[in-house]
Chains A and B, each alone.
Chain A
Amino acid sequence: GAVVSQHPSWVICKSGTSVKIECRSLDFQATTMFWYRQFPKQSLMLMATSNEGSKATYEQGVEKDKFLINHASLTLSTLTVTSAHPEDSSFYICRATPGANYGYTFGSGTRLTVV
């Protein structure tokens, strides 16, 4: 149980275009999902907390107008990187959990390359 599916696993896009990444909880409902970003040889850093039915909470330094988060249902959160630039190239990964005693389940991640 507690499976989180993330799609796509990798994407290459041109500068200036937008990319949408999906995160789905397959066998549980997640009122909260988290989006992380990982640059090469760095730790995973939280970008934003996605709350079902309300606005996401962004970490300091993360542009909310650039990284649009939508959590329209209890099983789906999406992250859209708008007007992507090469510096947005990174590994993006989502996290969700059915509850406090279930540990933390991550999606498989999305490798974004902006050319």
Chain B
Amino acid sequence: KQEVTQIPAALSVPEGENLVLNCSFTDSAIYNLQWFRQDPGKGLTSLLLIQSSQREQTSGRLNASLDKSSGRSTLYIAASQPGDSATYLCAVPYGGSQGNLIFGKGTKLSVKP
């Protein structure tokens, strides 16, 4: 059974810091891994999708890496801004690439001005 864990559960940093969010999964046979952002009371915004054959994806100040063999992914946020404050979720599909998405509980990030 696939389980996804995210640490830390919460993180508070001053503006401008670089930070790393961690995601681990128990079954390394994944098709892909996706990072999402969720603002309070809102839906999910897709940040980065990494296919199983890829090692990393970059979008602006965000960089996500994937190490399937160790069951880990990291989301690196450079030069954090108060607008980055949100909950960040990682998810992997289970039971096929179009199957259920298993989510971690998320990391709640607070960037203080």
- Which residues of A does B touch, CB under 8 Å? 6, 10, 32, 34, 41-46, 49, 91, 93, 95, 97, 100-101, 103-109, 111
- Could you list 26 examples of A-B contacts with CB < 8 Å? A32-B98, A34-B100, A43-B4, A43-B89, A43-B104, A43-B105, A44-B44, A44-B101, A44-B103, A45-B103, A46-B100, A46-B101, A91-B41, A93-B43, A93-B44, A95-B101, A97-B98, A100-B98, A103-B46, A103-B49, A104-B49, A106-B43, A106-B46, A107-B43, A109-B41, A111-B41
B residues near A10, Cβ cutoff 8 Å? 41
Docked Cα-Cα span, A44 to B104, in Å, equals 8
The A-B contact count (CB < 8 A) is 54
B21 interface residue (CB < 8 Å to A): no
Chain A residue with the shortest CB-CB distance to B100: A46
Docked Cα-Cα span, A101 to B91, in Å, equals 15
Secondary structure at chain B's binding surface: helix, strand, loop or mixed?
strand
Shortest CB-to-CB span from A82 to chain B, Å, is 24
Q: Known: A93-B44, A103-B34, A104-B34. Is A42-B105 also a contact (CB below 8 A)?
A: yes
Docked Cα-Cα span, A41 to B87, in Å, equals 10
Q: How extensive is the interface on chain B, given as a class? A: 20 to 34
Shortest CB-to-CB span from A21 to chain B, Å, is 12
Shortest CB-to-CB span from A16 to chain B, Å, is 25
Shortest CB-to-CB span from A71 to chain B, Å, is 15
